[in-house]
Amino acid sequence: MGIAGKVIAITGASSGIGRAAARLLAERGALVVLGARREDRLAAIVDDITAAGGKAMYRATDVRRREDLEALVEQAVRWGGRLDVIINNAGIGPISRFDALRVDDWDAMIDINLRGTLYGIAAALPVFQRQGSGHVVNVVSTAGLKILPTMGVYAATKNAVRTLTEALRQESGPGLRVSEVSPGIVSTDFGDSITDPGVREAMGRRVAGVAIPPEAVARAIAFAIEQPDDVEVGSLVVRPTAQD
């Protein structure tokens, strides 16, 4: 039971929920291995964690590349001797109406939100099988629970992850835990990926009104991880009280 001493790999760790989770888990004694594309940000986070007495390292990781996820997991195993948890957190949300025909944005969401999660699972499962234990935590979204205009493709990718998470849970034996965490509106740089100016402005106004800090989601992730080995937290929803 607990978090101290666990080796945890986190994708999308350079900002937002991933960064908050890295800091919180390291504060609670985990060895965190951070993956994201923005290497300068990863280095700064690792410096902050180690300066505070935590243990962290990073590897530049593009979740669209299966070999990058394999390298991230391999680095975690070399450093910590094992891998206890993989948090598949990397995601983007360049949302728009369908008739805007931003097909490149659709492709990017499928590649990062869906394929990136699958590649993380594929990299971690062989390690978990060798160890006889492990934990997959997939960050999903409340966008898949209540479908709204402009959210169609984004919600579809997140609901695909929700579906595969449940299937993985049913396939897993007693040594593998599988959890999904669905954040609502969170104060992150989610809006930076939106390429439609009107949608970006509207999202900015919505976020400013109700968003909760990413640390709230990080605490939910930590809650799932810290349970005894025979306890699996299947699904958690974390959203603002003011969110519809």
For residue 36, which phi and psi values (nearest 5 degrees)?
-175, 175
Please say if 154 is a catalytic residue.
yes
Paired residues of 135 in beta bridges: 85, 177
User: Locate tokens 């990718």: which residue?
Assistant: 157
Determine the Cα–Cα distance for residues 184 and 122; give it in Å rounded to an integer: 27
> Which listed residue (58, 106, 128, 154) is catalytic?
154
Tokens for 137?
A: 């935590």
Q: How far apart are CA 193 and CA 94, in angstroms?
A: 5
Packing angle between helix 116-131 and helix 66-80, nearest 10 degrees?
Answer: 30
- Identify the burial level of 14 via C-beta atoms within 10 angstroms of its C-beta, where 0-12 means exposed, 13-18 middle and 19 or more buried: buried
Handedness of CA 162, 164, 170, 175 (dihedral sign): negative
Contact 210, 244 (CB under 8 A): no
Tokens 């001493």 sit at which residue? 5
Q: Which residue numbers are catalytic?
A: 154
